[in-house]
């Protein structure tokens, strides 16, 4: 694929990521913010109970509250802060996914641009988020043990890296098996291998048993995790659709231009 075409796809991928980020922000704000607010309320209630149990006076409690006052207010965090984070995340991943699309187009089967974009988005959602989420699900802010946040972050990114590498290995193995088994059987065999090795990794990697404090409401935790999953699903679904349309237009335009140049350079019939 020509460098200028890849560059055009990269720009379209970032644009599609921006559009997807807008949809993801809407879901995060409507569905994700209520459980976040609930988790913060639980934390504040536990802190107040601990202060009361320890016998602190009202003046000491007020002083502690002033010391722990947030540098950025909660309304700003839940609007501008959330929007900025989700949009930057969407643009960055959109660009990376566009590069993956440029590599995958024509190499993973006889799929057109829209189908390849959909497959790229589905593969990215599965390897970058879903598989790591199943092993190390999302945790509401201010709920986990602060002493283990470094360990939990390392394990989560390790799971992302492992999942992506296993996904790439599955694609390569599937392509090599296709001439002998056929595309359908090769795909099933590669997918089965991916699931088996991933399951082994789930068993061998340590669990995050201390990721959530004891006594945290299970229903609120489940609501937060479903919201996190919904945000990612919407992000990648919208990206797959929008980028597929944009990529189709780019590639169709380049093909038409190439055909026009070839026709102009061809000798006229005698």
List per-residue pLDDT tens for the chain, 270 residues long.
677 888 999 999 999 999 999 999 999 999 888 887 777 777 777 667 666 666 554 444 444 444 445 556 666 676 777 888 999 999 999 999 999 999 888 877 678 889 999 999 999 999 999 999 999 888 876 666 666 677 778 888 999 999 999 999 998 898 888 888 888 898 899 999 999 999 999 999 888 766 666 677 778 888 888 999 999 999 999 999 999 999 999 888 665 555 555 555 545 444
Say if residues 227 and 26 touch (Cβ distance below 8 Å): no
Q: Is residue 117 part of a domain?
A: yes
Q: Is residue 225 part of a domain?
A: yes
Q: State which residues form the domain around 37.
A: 3-144+212-265
Q: Is residue 91 part of a domain?
A: yes
pLDDT at 47: 64
Q: In whole angstroms, what is the distance from residue 267 CA to residue 270 CA?
A: 9
The set of residues, in sequence order, having a beta carbon less than 8 Å from that of 135 and lying 6+ positions away, is 159, 201, 202, 205
Q: Is residue 185 part of a domain?
A: no
Q: Is residue 236 part of a domain?
A: yes
Tell me the C-alpha to C-alpha distance, in Å, between residue 64 and each of 45, 61, 159. Answer: 14, 5, 38
Say if residues 140 and 224 touch (Cβ distance below 8 Å): yes
Torsion of CA 89, 95, 101, 103, to 10 degrees: -130
Q: Is residue 205 part of a domain?
A: no
pLDDT at 59: 45
pLDDT at 198: 94
Q: In the chain, what is the greatest distance between 2 CA atoms, to the nearest angstrom?
A: 103
Q: Is residue 173 part of a domain?
A: no
Q: Tally the domains of the chain.
A: 1
* pTM (whole model) above 0.85: no
Q: Give start and end residues of each alpha helix (H) in the chain.
A: 3-27, 33-54, 58-67, 74-76, 82-104, 113-124, 131-135, 149-181, 183-204, 218-265
Q: In whole angstroms, what is the distance from residue 258 CA to residue 266 CA?
A: 12
Q: In whole angstroms, what is the distance from residue 78 CA to residue 223 CA?
A: 17
Q: Is residue 79 part of a domain?
A: yes
Say if residues 24 and 127 touch (Cβ distance below 8 Å): no
pLDDT at 38: 79
Sign of CA dihedral 55, 59, 60, 61: positive
Cα of 179 vs its chain's centroid, Å? 33
DSSP state of 55: T
Q: In whole angstroms, what is the distance from residue 114 CA to residue 111 CA?
A: 8
Tell me the C-alpha to C-alpha distance, in Å, between residue 145 and each of 138, 141, 152. Answer: 14, 10, 10
Q: In whole angstroms, what is the distance from residue 15 CA to residue 28 CA?
A: 20
């Amino acid at each position: 694929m020509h460098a200028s075409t890849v560059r055009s796809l990269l720009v379209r991928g970032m644009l599609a990521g921006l559009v997807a980020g807008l949809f993801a922000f809407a879901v995060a704000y409507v569905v994700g913010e209520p459980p976040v607010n609930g988790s913060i309320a639980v934390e504040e209630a536990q802190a107040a109970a601990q202060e009361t149990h320890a016998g602190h006076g009202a003046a000491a409690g007020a002083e502690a509250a002033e010391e722990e006052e947030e540098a950025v207010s909660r309304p700003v965090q839940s609007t501008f802060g959330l929007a900025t984070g989700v949009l930057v995340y969407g643009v960055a991943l959109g660009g990376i996914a566009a590069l993956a699309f440029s590599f995958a187009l024509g190499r993973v089967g006889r799929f057109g641009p829209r189908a390849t974009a959909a497959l790229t988005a589905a593969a990215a959602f599965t390897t970058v988020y879903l598989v790591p989420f199943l092993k190390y699900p999302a945790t509401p802010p201010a709920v986990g043990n602060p002493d283990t946040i470094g360990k939990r972050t390392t394990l989560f990114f390790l799971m992302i890296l492992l999942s992506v590498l296993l996904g790439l290995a599955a694609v390569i193995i599937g392509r090599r098996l296709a001439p002998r088994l056929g595309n359908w059987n090769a795909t099933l065999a590669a997918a089965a291998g991916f699931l088996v090795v991933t399951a082994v990794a789930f068993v061998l990697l340590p669990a995050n048993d201390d990721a959530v404090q004891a006594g945290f409401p299970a229903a609120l935790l489940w609501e937060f995790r479903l919201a996190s999953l919904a945000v990612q699903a919407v992000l990648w679904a919208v990206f797959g659709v929008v980028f597929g349309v944009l990529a189709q237009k780019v590639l169709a335009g380049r093909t038409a231009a190439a055909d026009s140049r070839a026709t102009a350079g061809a000798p006229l019939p005698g």
